[in-house]
Structure 1
Amino acid sequence: MTFHDRLADGWSARYRRGGFARRRRFLETEILAPLPISGRWLDAGCGAGDFTHWLAARGAQARGLDASAAMIAAARVGSPATRFDQGLVEQLTDSAVYDGALCLSVLEYVDDPKTALARLSAAIRPGGHLILSAPRRLSILRMAQKAAHRLSGGRLFAYLASSHNAWGKAELVAALREHGLVVESLREFDPLLPRFLGPLASLWVATCRKAAP
């Protein structure tokens, strides 16, 4: 939370350039655009609310949730009419109320990813979608960043001091399935590398559907 509190000022501006802009375009055009965006949607780990605003602009009743008070304050300035709450994903108590949820670049930071997934799954109605991104465990790029982080004494790629969790492909699919989330697609993506270097990508992006009881 402390790390993200420091980044809240100007966070949304990052999505207008470089790797952040590329990540946003990929998620909006290739992952979210084909889905039915309607009803109630949760943006879990919403940051300054950029994707929450995107959902609301397409007709969803969107709610943003983030552990960082500074991020929530920034999100509320951007859209006073949209609901934003400070809180941990692991402490989410909603039950089967959302038609869809986003959880983008969040699981790597939480203390208990298993509980976070369980809470997210419980909050989504059967048939609803969860869009999730998570670090790829054997990403060559991520391993190189970790080495640079250590050698620089933490000055380079500072986010890695707080990013602790990563998954292999089978491991992530199994973790989602354990909580009733059926993976409809699992894509490789990297905000820096060109698409043809997908095997080196640092992120998994999963589109899941909540199974019926």
Structure 2
Amino acid sequence: MGMSMSMGMRTEQRHEQRQEQRQEMGMRQAAQMTMRVALIQAIHGEKFNPRARCTCGHDLRPIEILRGFRADPDDYTTQCPKCKRRFTAKLIATGRASDVELPFYCASQTLARLRHIAALPSDEFCKQHPAEYRSAIFHFGNIRTAYQKSGGDYPYDPVQDWQDKVTPFLGKAPDTQIALVVSQPVGVIRTMRKNLHIPRYRKGNEESLGMTLQETAS
């Protein structure tokens, strides 16, 4: 009997450890997404907020929306983690003047749609294909990277006047993430950070993003 109780306790402990690991992973993923949204807001002038409310009453968190997508270019639905119902999500793009509600595509769907859209300068692309443009920015940081991953080419400069905008994020976000959003080689961002004598990013620096957002908004 004592052995059975011991085995039961070990099983329960393993279950608790796995649950804690999942929670920690979810927190890291949420922090990374917060970082991405903050960078996009600073560089592109818009805040992106994925939104999905299920009929069961559950408001899906952005990370839940992404997890619920299928890697199927013809299926635009996400899945509620509570009731398992599938439905479409929205992407709210908040700019200086107003909010824009758009369909939200997963990464696979975005790439599939880009294969049928001719490359245009960023401003014109955003006007003609607002949902595809913003989904591409959300998933890939910039439109050029999205086109490259779709097998195409984007000959225009996707991001301009980015140097001052990224300065508050140096050391608070990985150089690789900043480089991705501004479509620059990682070495350019690394050199810029070192010239300003800013230590490299370490895990946990995401906690300072709240202050960064206040700085960039002021």
- The normalised TM-score by structure 2 is 0.28
- The normalised TM-score by structure 1 is 0.29
Specify which structure has the higher proportion of helix.
2
Specify which structure has the higher proportion of strand.
1
